[in-house]
Amino acid sequence: MSAPDTPGARWHPSPNAGPRRDGLTPRLVVLHYTQMSSAGAALARLCDPGAQVSAHYLIGADGTLWQMVAQSQRAWHAGAGRWRGLDDINSRSIGIEIDNDGDSPFAAAQMRRLETLLPALLTRWSIPPSGVIAHSDMAPGRKADPGPRFDWRRLARMGLSVWPRTDGDPDAPLAASLDRIGYPPVAPELRLAAFRLRFRPRHTGPEDRIDRALADSLARQSELHDY
């Protein structure tokens, strides 16, 4: 491939890619932050054969979009982790890196770019909004990106992700709800932290009725879709 398969993207191929295994196709989109000094530094690393990491896309703070791996290929962005009982997330996903240090707000231009990129991906691969997940969702305790400053509610308002409704049961068992949503079977405190990182940023303490209601609502939404 010598050109991007996304209009407006700059083609900057990475050698760190290969065929998706077992005939798998993308069923998820995994969002990351770069946590590097600049988009240029991130691009160099994602295309460095020695680093052995890559992603399909990188979005700069000014909205510049680079494509490094064809959508049909397997990029090396997710690492170890699981979602909805499935492993080898690299073979099942599109990876999008966003230029951000992990502590700063995400720039308006890059959010707008993400909001133009996601609809095409979801349509092409028939991915439901619940299939747009955080790196921290599939790797609790190991990863924290895209972090507490990322505006998931904004994506959900556009139908590009999910957000809890007000119909959740505050007495529903949290562990069962997190299983139904897709969180992997790691220590309960790690799963709770990953869930809160996305849906209740910076909230701490033992699980409470709000956690249980939010998780139950999301579990009901997730079960509407078959991955």
Residues 6+ apart with CB under 8 A from 118: 29, 132, 155, 160
**DSSP-based three-state secondary structure for 98:** strand
Structure tokens at 155: 């994506």
> How far is Cα 87 from Cα 148, in angstroms, rounded to an integer?
25
Neighbours of 154 (CB within 10 A): 15
> Torsion-angle region of residue 182: left (phi > 0), alpha (psi -120 to 50) or beta?
left
Catalytic residue among 97, 115, 207, 223: 97
97 is catalytic: yes
Angle (CA) 78 82 83, round 5°: 105
d(CA 152, CA 221): 15
Backbone angles phi, psi at 214, to 5 degrees: -65, -45
Active site residues: 97
